[in-house]
Structure 1
Amino acid sequence: MVNVERVMVVRRPLAEVVAYLEDFARTEEWDPGTVRCVRLDDGPVRRGARWRNTSRFRGRTTELRYELVVREPTRLVFVGENSTVTARDDLRFAEEGAATRLTYRASLRFKGLARLAAPFLRGEFERLADGVVTRLPEAAEAWRS
């Protein structure tokens, strides 16, 4: 398993940051690995909402189906899966004055033979997480609800 964690401050109120991030389709704006992310169901975002995320990693394109499994006022958890990996994005929010402190945790559990590659991929996932720290606050601060 590969785990990465980053903490960042977004200069917007907590409720606005949660509203921005609860739509996983917006990963196109802040996740450097995401090429495309499309909502698979309709209506307001709620627990059980689903997305198809296409990512590029080490020159290869892969697709995961994500679901919003936890939707709380200060926490969002998305779980994505395909035949080789289960990914979990756990986002926790805390007020920090007029801004929001966001703790972003990504966990990847590889399946089958892909498990053998996990230790060698950690550095690449760390670099992607560094990209999230650069892009996410800027994208959330620019978003207009």
Structure 2
Amino acid sequence: MITMPVSEQSVVIARPASEVWDFLTDAANWPSWEASMVECEQVTDGELGVGTRWRGVNRVLGKRIDWESEFVEYQSGKVATSKSVDGSKVGFTATTRLEEVDGGTLFTYRVDTESGLGGVFGKLADPLVTKAYSRMMRASLDNLADLLTPDS
């Protein structure tokens, strides 16, 4: 059985879920906190929902990864899942999930890659690249919490 590399991290943000959701659902905000993201934009018009597409560029271990994704699940204020489409170099599914907890909002970010991010670097690199990306994701979530927490 082939396992898909998974990176998943969570952080508690001292803000109401509605404020965190509003920030996360604006594509232009992602490069301000997600360490590997260079560009991100919404390419379809209208409200965010199933079928909405975003396009962006990430840089992982010095490699440029262009991607486009489409939302396949969308529950406002709770969860959004997008899958890579078209000519994305890496097949992925990304899920953002929010949950109200004592002290604010628990934000969980999960990325499943079909061939592993190592597919860009070579199959043998999968474990190393996944580990490096997980560390980058941890730092990104901490950065997001700092960014959204007043007087921190």
Does the TM-score normalized on the shorter chain lie above 0.5? yes
Match of 2:41 among 38, 43, 46: 38
Q: Cα offset for 1:50?
A: 0.9
Contact 2:11-2:141 within 8 A present in 1 as well: yes
Q: How many pairs does the alignment contain?
A: 141
TM-score of the superposition, structure 1-length normalised? Answer: 0.83
Question: Are positions 1:75 and 2:79 aligned together?
Answer: yes
Matches within 5 A, 1:1-145: 1-72=4-75, 73-81=77-85, 82-97=87-102, 99-110=104-115, 114=119, 116=123, 117-141=125-149
SS in 1 for 2:91: strand
> CA–CA distance in 2 between the matches of 1:80 and 1:121?
19
SS in 2 for 1:63: strand
Name the CA shift for 1:87/1:24 in 2 (closer, same or farther; >3 Å): farther
Contact 2:82-2:95 within 8 A present in 1 as well: yes
Name the CA shift for 1:109/1:48 in 2 (closer, same or farther; >3 Å): same
SS in 2 for 1:12: coil
> CA–CA distance in 2 between the matches of 1:40 and 1:4?
26
Q: Which has the higher strand share?
A: 1
CA deviations 1:74-132 (Å, max 9, x no partner) are: 11112234454212221221111361111221211227x92713223122112211222
Unpaired stretches in structure 1, ≥5 consecutive residues: none
Contact 1:23-1:45 within 8 A present in 2 as well: no
| Matched AA of 1:74 | K
Aligned-residue Cα RMSD (Å) equals 2.2
